[in-house]
Amino acid sequence: QSVLTQTPSASGAPGQRVTITCSGGSSNIRTNSVYWYQHVPGAAPKLLIYDTDQRPSGVPDRFSGSKSGTSASLAISGLRSEDEAHYYCAVWDNKLSVLFGGGTKLTVL
Amino acid sequence: QVRLVESGGDLVKPGGSLRLSCEVSGFTFSDYYMSWIRQAPGKGLEWVAYIGPTGSTINTADSLKGRFSISRDNAKNFLFLQINSLRAEDTAVYYCARHDFWTGSSPYLDFWGQGALVTVSS
């Protein structure tokens, strides 16, 4: 059971906007940057968002991150079939250990 | 280009030991924090441990301390994970990953390997 809670599944039709949330606590999300990863089964996980709301070069601006208090969100707009994957939030805890959320499986209808 | 290639995954009996390797290339290995992350079948990503550039800083997930040991050989560009007293619940794909240079041990993992499968079964 992860300290970071994510809704197990989410879905949306092509072109729609989907938001995936990650709930944590005062010792992790509230005080540290949040990172988001996309994981397609069989492939290596890919960093989508760093420092809560920054995109690495090459990541489309359809992906955006934010946080408020002890929760963080990943929004995906203009949903495409290739966005179907598992999405994980990650954060430092107060012992500088890395925590991953339980993951959200995104289905593109 | 940056490459991370895991090896050493195998079918192991409960109670056995295994050492995973991650050979890296395309960057100055000795400048970076490195991590191991695993994914059990049907489960999410679980961070295992990280090691600092010189090997003097090590942090292991609380639930895995005692059986998991991370190390590195900067001269040969290898990262290792020693797993002892293997249990069925250690069955997973194990990934090595590079941390971002500027943020050290933060969860900013910018390059990952393809993973090595460890199966623990009698």
- Which residue of B99, B106, B111 to mutate against A (max A Cβ within 10 Å)? B106
pLDDT interval class at A93 (50, 70, 90): confident
| pLDDT exceeds cutoff 80 at A1 | no
Q: Do B113 and A56 touch (CB under 8 A)?
A: no
State the smallest CA–CA distance between residue B49 and chain A in angstroms: 8
Mean pLDDT value across residues A35-52: 95
Q: Do B45 and A44 touch (CB under 8 A)?
A: no
User: Which residues have CB under 8 Å from B56's CB, separation 6+?
Assistant: none
Q: Does B50 touch chain A (CB under 8 A)?
A: yes
The interface residues of chain A toward chain B in range 42-81, judged by CB-CB distance below 8 A, are 43-47, 50-51, 56
- CB-CB: which of A50, A96, A103 is closest to B105? A96
pLDDT for the residue A42:
87
Contacts A–B by Cβ distance under 8 A: 64
Mean pLDDT value across residues A59-68: 97
Distance of CA B54 to the CA centre of its chain: 16
Residue type at B15? G
Q: Does A2 touch chain B (CB under 8 A)?
A: yes
**Per the structure block, which two tokens stand in for B42?**
């049907």
pLDDT interval class at A76 (50, 70, 90): very high
* pLDDT-above-70 percentage for chain B: 100
pLDDT for the residue A2:
77
Residues of chain A found within 8 Å of residue B95, distances taken between Cβ atoms: 44-45
Q: Do A50 and B61 touch (CB under 8 A)?
A: no
Average pLDDT, chain B: 96
| pLDDT exceeds cutoff 90 at B11 | yes
Mean pLDDT value across residues B60-70: 95
DSSP string for A4-59: SEE-SEEEE-TT--EEEEEE--TTTTTTS-EEEEEE-TTS--EEEEBTTTB--TTS
- CB-CB: which of A44, A56, A86 is closest to B95? A44
| pLDDT exceeds cutoff 80 at B104 | yes
| pLDDT exceeds cutoff 90 at A99 | yes
Is residue B96 a contact partner of residue B80, using CB atoms and an 8 Å limit? no
Q: Do A103 and B44 touch (CB under 8 A)?
A: yes
Residues of chain B found within 8 Å of residue A31, distances taken between Cβ atoms: none
Mean pLDDT value across residues A54-83: 96
Closest-CA residue to A11 (of A78, A105, A82): A105
